[in-house]
Amino acid sequence: MICIVDYGVGNLFSLHSSFKALGIDTVVSGDREVIESAEKLILPGVGAFGDAMKKLSLNGLDKVIINQAKKGVPLLGICLGMQLLFEKSYEYGEHTGLGLIKGEVVGMQGRIPKGLKIPHIGWNELHYDKTCPIFRFLTPGDSVYFVHSFYAANCEESTVATTEYGTEICAAVRDGNVYGCQFHPEKSGKVGLSILKAFCLIER
Amino acid sequence: MITKRIIPCLDVKDGRVVKGVNFKNLNDVSSPVDLGKYYSDCGADELVFYDITASSDGRKLFTDILTKVAENVFIPLTVGGGINTVADFDRVLKCGADKVSVNSGAIRNPNLIREAAKKYGNQCVVISADIKRVDGEFRVFAKGGREDTGIEAISWIKKCVDDGAGEVVVNSIDTDGVKKGFDIELLKLVTNAVSVPVIASGGAGCAMDFVKLFKEIPNIDAGLAASVFHFGEVDISELKNLLRKNNILVR
């Protein structure tokens, strides 16, 4: 069973519907035992980093997720859920993340050319590592849907996809069994659904 | 770089899509669920679900139908019509909306945009303005274009963006339904006035109208239309090919 971790941040409706459309059973839960018994974990999230980490650690779910990831359970962080995988974020202050992936989360303001709109909203082309298992069904030129104002930096070793928005932006990361997508696969049409499907097909 | 977005709009009344539809491959041509799924699969970049009479009838949007639409749509979904309070935002977001579009509600409640943006983020709040030329100026209309508010449109949109609206939909009442192209004059003014994405609406009659829109206003982000897509007069994948041929970046 795949568990979509519910920690009171963001809308899980679309993610749940996406897996349903793929014919894949998921459970949406914030229960420690359910999370610990899941074969794979999805960590969603929208909003601000600090607030999300606070909510995640409220019930000790941060430690549960770290433990499961270290045991080898495939984990996919989406959007803010991807950013939480990093060591820290500079969104409204400085916040410590889950530390599962080396690097940090920084703002676009001042790092992308002037005149480009922030947040980075819309469909943008994915430049991806073809050997990464979650991209096995993609075709060069495929685009995905982004909505974000912060992005991961200093994470060259784990970066498996980038996109171009005035500068090169990290679009996806992987370190072993831990995966993260800055974009929203659940909002990226057939391409996005194929990424979720590929994640579900990963064998431990 | 980011691509230009093509957005079909479902104008829903009493749970059915209005403006008529004529699709060979759909059984129920006025079902918002079937039509939404069709657009999600055929290459539309986003979908707008608009309950067109919710505001003028003074009632709440149909959330049961919205939920069914959202379950089958895997592209961003913007929902509008009858959004007056932060509680209304909450209700439609729980039904699967990604963004919420406000129009009359923002006129009635001056704090709505600020409160909603604070709670859900700017990216979630869309100001949709129905605009018409009156006495030599652009005016904001309320209640689905039925009522002149007397408010000057450009300054109103600027204020909404300052309050936290993350996107602007500009519906030109003057060009809507005329099918002679988007309101370039008005759209240029709005695009130059704000730094958030602007979506053009009202007036698309053929695929070339979209080419003209993106050529004449390179900084505009998206083109929205209803009937030309519903009637099959403009096919989304053919439109995208035409835009590509004209060096306009689309997905």
Question: What are the tens digits of pLDDT across the range B6-57?
Answer: 999 998 888 888 864 444 455 556 889 999 999 999 999 999 998 877 666 6
Return the closest-CA partner of residue A24 out of A9, A42, A7.
A42
Instruction: Kindly state the percentage of chain A with pLDDT values over 70.
Output: 100
Kindly report the three-state secondary structure assignment for every residue of A153-203. Answer: ECCCCCEEEEEEECEEEEEEEEECCEEEECCCHHHCHHHHHHHHHHHHCCC
pTM: 0.92
B122:A119 CB<8 A: yes
Long-range CB pairs of B103-107 (<8 Å, 24+ gap) are B103/B55, B103/B127, B103/B128, B103/B129, B103/B130, B103/B142, B104/B55, B104/B142, B104/B143, B104/B144, B105/B55, B106/B160, B107/B140, B107/B142, B107/B149, B107/B151
Predicted confidence at residue B20, as pLDDT, reads 46
Is B241's pLDDT higher than 60? yes
Give the separation between CA B213 and CA B92, rounded to whole angstroms: 31
Helix, strand or coil, per DSSP, at residue B237: helix
The residues of B annotated with a catalytic role in the active site are 11, 130
Query: Residue A68 belongs to a domain with what CATH number?
Result: 3.40.50.880
Q: How many residues does chain B have?
A: 251
* A123: nearest CB among B5, B40, B196: B5
Go through the domains of chain B in sequence order and give each one's CATH number.
5-245 (3.20.20.70)
Does pLDDT of B187 surpass 70?
A: yes
Q: Domain count of chain A?
A: 1
Pick the catalytic residue from A16, A95, A148, A184. A184
What pLDDT, in 10s, does the model give residues B205-239?
A: 999 999 999 999 999 999 999 989 988 889 999 99
**Which structural domain, as residue segments, surrounds residue A14?**
2-200
Rg (CA), chain A: 16
How does pLDDT run across A119-166, given as a tens digit for each residue? 899 999 999 999 999 999 999 999 999 999 999 999 999 999 999 999
- Angstrom distance (rounded) from CA B8 to CA B39: 7
Q: Which of residues 31-90 of B touch A (CB under 8 A)?
A: 40-41, 43, 45, 70-72, 74-76
Cα dihedral B65, B63, B22, B215 in deg (nearest 10): -140
State the catalytic residue, choosing from A3, A79, A181, A200. A79
- Taking the Cβ of residue B119 and every Cβ of chain A, the question of whether any pair is shorter than 8 Å is answered with no
pLDDT tens by residue, B132-185: 999 999 999 998 788 999 999 999 999 999 999 999 999 999 998 888 999 999
Distance between CA B77 and CA B100 in Å, rounded? 9
Q: Nearest CB to A117: which of B45, B95, B196? A: B196
Q: Which of A46, A147, A189 has the CB atom closest to B40's CB atom? A: A189
**In angstroms, how far is CA A7 from the centroid of its own chain?**
15
Which residues of chain A have a CB within 8 Å of the CB of B166? 119, 121
Give the residues across from B17 on adjacent strands: B12
Q: What is the pLDDT of residues A37-84, one digit of tens each?
A: 999 999 998 888 998 999 999 889 999 999 999 999 999 999 999 999
Whether the complex's predicted ipTM is more than 0.85 is answered with: yes
- Secondary structure of residue B154 in the 3-state scheme: helix
Residue A123: its chain B contacts at CB < 8 A?
2-3, 5, 45, 251
B chain contacts of residue A20, beta-carbon cutoff 8 Å: 71
